[in-house]
Structure 1
Amino acid sequence: MKLPLGNDSVAVSLPDCTVTVAQPAVTEPIDVHTAATTALEAPHGPSLADRVDPDDEVAIVVTDGTRTVPDDVLLAVLLEELADCGIAREQIMVVIGLGLHRPMTDDEIERMLGPHADLARNHDPKRTVEVGTVDGCPVKIGRPVAEADVVCSTGVVEPHQYAGFSGGAKTVVIGAGGESLIGYTHGPDVLARDGVRLGRVDGNPFREVLDRAGDLVDVDFCLNLTHGPTGVIGVSAGDHRAVVSELAATARDALAVSLEDGEFDAVVCGVGAPKDANLYQASRAATYVALGDHNPLRRGGRLVVPAALPEGAGEGTGERRFYRQLARAPDPDSLYKRLLEGYEPGAQRAFVLTRVLRDHEVFVTNSEAPGVVEECLMTAADDVGSAVEPGSNVLVVPDALNTLFVRRTSRI
């Protein structure tokens, strides 16, 4: 079989193992441009035309290169609609929602947004304006977004370790926000609350904070999509909460795989580009599998992640903090206990990963940065075959970031 590796694939052979492949049901993909146009015609809440005036300055926040989103298509549809509303191109600014990730290069922006790249600028988390508070935490937003008359966003509603599903207000309040909200939502107090779980939106405290922050920022209009194994399967537009709710339901139906409790000795987690560019992002595969609604691994079982890692641990502020926490720790238990006392934004990925490392070994294979892997309390291996013990009962997950495991007797 083949698994994704960077923009290519790698052959995997496990002849001495019992192998099960976790593959969500095949869902027919849709044409993004057509579906986005249709979504704008029937949005949740008022239409975009009812939310803008011809003299408005408009900020559109888009995801950065760590997300697999055809932002060029979604942006083109939004720009067409805004033009029909009398908004000139000069009145529009596109802000790339980096959060604490590294800035995108001009070439990367050009590849991502095509003919609309000239409208774009990277979010600067140091140039923010406070717009209010949530739970006593200051909500700060990038000045270009805060000063706009209308705030729109594109994005993807996909499984997210903390928010349940990404998208909606998150693209704006985290992607174009300041460290205060990132630090609060990604801190141990919030992440340890009941309901903060992969695949859950309703009753998820993390998601609720993001939505309330989105109201403060006044996120006027979202255009989001969701995807399954074969491509984009849904597009929705309008009010940010309703957009996430609709697309999360679509994604759950498409991505669910039911399994028995703890039946596997090892899980091989496929990632691929863009998420396997660095260890910060690629490590999501291990945590999504082990910390979801249902962990298919037995206690002490092994997670194996093929990942290219051309950027090593990662180059952004959050990625560097993640690396420092792991690299200076003697073992997962002591790091977990120390991080319970608090950490800088970005280091939450180290906190979540140590929860997994306390119960499971994590092997990263086929990478360009084996030394970084070893420094970060994980094990580097040349290939998947050498990371899996002979005779193991193995679950192979071709797309670990877009597969939701549920118990065979449960319903999603």
Structure 2
Amino acid sequence: MAHSIPLGKGSISVSLPSCDVTAVSPPGGEAVDVRERARAAVADPHGPRLAECVDPDDTVTIVVTDVTRATPDDILLDALVDELERAGIAREQITVIVGLGLHRPLTDEELRESLGNHADLAVNHDPQRTVEVGTVEGCPIELFEVAAQTDYLCSTGMVEPHQYAGFSGGAKTAVIGAGGESQIRYTHGPEMLAREGVRLGRIDDNPFRDFLDRAGDEIGVGFCLNVTHGPEGITGASAGDPRAVVRELADVARETRSVTVTEEYDVVLAGVGAPKDRNLYQASRAPTYVALGARNPLRDGGRIVVPATLTEGAGEGTGEKRFHEWLSNAADADSLYREMRSGYEPGAQRAFVVARVLREHDVWVTNSQHPELVEDCLFEAADRPEDAIEPGSDVLVVPDALNTLLV
């Protein structure tokens, strides 16, 4: 039996006749009409309506996600802009910031594709143009000056499993996406990532998530509109108070994405697909989600196989370049992990968590446009998944690895 695995915007068929193969997919949920559900969420939010939070002469900034997340920002912006117009806010009083963190800026074409009719309102975040607006746990909280100068701050977001925050979304879009290196360095440093509770799928008693929420208070994220998705598409939307929004949609995501795994396997074949498989930085989330989640299904010495196009190589942003530099200059995963325990620049945290995985498991990246880069970064490269999986292996196939919680 062949298995369909995402690759870019399409898929590949993988046949492993000599292996014992188990395929798992989350239960999913019924896809909703995103436009309808977004407008309903804005009309019935957690807390007051957005139109009640602003005055007609206010300037309003909305921080949205970048191309590394499949958030329907154009539709979410439609709902938010309409609500602001209801409050008397003119279009020229609204600014949209693309929350890049340390990722690369979006091109004009990407802005039009992701933001639709609102692309003319957009500006790419610039981490070199930030101002300090407060502190949390002694960490200076920096914000893109465009956002710092606004009267009211909103955000969109995708609530999906996140390696450190448990689930993304809420204040994170603005705190990290429109923030400076200070809080990125603090939250993504080895001390924070080693804390109890910082893990995939967990928001309660998670120090990383707690920091994001408090930093969101400091920068003034007053209202957010988030969605979550499953295999069938967008499965929910929620608006209003960032903490309540994340909690509501995380519950939806757990119901639609959790899969119970009781056995151990020689190989996990982990699908990624677009937009995450466009570079190694993002595609490397798959092996870390598998091995560092609530339940690692691999036997000792087991391997993870990830088909990924890598059209952008390692990635083009500052964070992606730092990730590549650490991995490509390392002799081996163990020495890299020990060296990075002493600290690293923001963006390099992906190399740190990848090193944690590579100490225990081989990771193969197949079907990529840059196999030489893959091997320079301590991974193994192969043309096809079949070439990376030994005959007779017990294989767990997870077609949508970034949206499946193995428990």
Q: TM-score per shorter chain, which class? A: over 0.9
Which string of whole-angstrom CA distances, capped at 9 and with x for unpartnered residues, describes residues 78-126 of structure 1?
Answer: 1111111100000000000000000010011111111110000100101
Residue 311 of structure 2 is matched in structure 1 by 310
Residue 287 of structure 1: SS of its match in structure 2? helix
The TM-score, its normalising length taken from structure 1, stands at 0.98
Residue 347 of structure 2 is matched in structure 1 by 346
Matched, 1:95 2:97: yes
Shift in Å at residue 42 of structure 1?
A: 1.1
Partner Cα distance (2:119, 2:50) in 1: 22
Q: Which amino acid aligns with 1:277?
A: R
Residue 266 of structure 2 is matched in structure 1 by 265
Residue 403 of structure 1 is matched in structure 2 by 404
* Equivalence map 1:119-130=2 (5 Å): 119-130=121-132
Shift in Å at residue 129 of structure 1?
A: 1.1
Matched, 1:6 2:1: no
Residue 39 of structure 1: SS of its match in structure 2? helix
Gaps of at least 5 residues in structure 2 are none
Residue 135 of structure 2: SS of its match in structure 1? strand
Residue 289 of structure 2 is matched in structure 1 by 288
Higher deviation after alignment, 216-225 or 20-29:
20-29
Residue 42 of structure 2 is matched in structure 1 by 40
Percent identity over paired residues: 65
* Equivalence map 1:248-259=2 (5 Å): 248-259=250-261
Q: Which amino acid aligns with 2:319?
A: G
Q: Which amino acid aligns with 1:47?
A: R
Shift in Å at residue 2 of structure 1?
A: 1.5
Partner Cα distance (2:140, 2:183) in 1: 7
Partner Cα distance (1:113, 1:369) in 2: 30
Q: Which amino acid aligns with 2:353?
A: V
Partner Cα distance (2:280, 2:110) in 1: 20
Residue 106 of structure 2: SS of its match in structure 1? coil
Matched, 1:244 2:242: no
Q: Which amino acid aligns with 1:313?
A: A
The TM-score, its normalising length taken from structure 2, stands at 0.99
Shift in Å at residue 45 of structure 1?
A: 0.9
Shift in Å at residue 26 of structure 1?
A: 3.3
Runs of 4+ in 1 over 4 A off after TM superposition: none
Which string of whole-angstrom CA distances, capped at 9 and with x for unpartnered residues, describes residues 312-359 of structure 1?
Answer: 111100000000000111000000000000000000000000000000
Matched, 1:22 2:18: no
Shift in Å at residue 50 of structure 1?
A: 1.4
Partner Cα distance (1:328, 1:128) in 2: 31
Which string of whole-angstrom CA distances, capped at 9 and with x for unpartnered residues, describes residues 184-219 of structure 1?
Answer: 000000000000000000100000010000000010
Which string of whole-angstrom CA distances, capped at 9 and with x for unpartnered residues, describes residues 285-306 of structure 1?
Answer: 0000110000011111010000
Residue 104 of structure 1: SS of its match in structure 2? coil
Q: Which amino acid aligns with 2:113?
A: R
* Equivalence map 1:165-244=2 (5 Å): 165-244=167-246
Residue 161 of structure 2 is matched in structure 1 by 159
Q: Which amino acid aligns with 2:163?
A: Q
Shift in Å at residue 269 of structure 1?
A: 0.5
Aligned residues: 405
Residue 384 of structure 2 is matched in structure 1 by 383
Residue 133 of structure 1 is matched in structure 2 by 135
Partner Cα distance (2:351, 2:256) in 1: 29
Residue 326 of structure 1 is matched in structure 2 by 327
Partner Cα distance (1:26, 1:161) in 2: 20
Partner Cα distance (2:331, 2:356) in 1: 15
Q: Which amino acid aligns with 1:185?
A: T
Q: Which amino acid aligns with 1:94?
A: V
Partner Cα distance (2:28, 2:92) in 1: 42
**RMSD in angstroms over aligned alpha carbons?**
0.6
Gaps of at least 5 residues in structure 1 are 407-412
Residue 410 of structure 1 is matched in structure 2 by none
Q: Which amino acid aligns with 1:115?
A: N
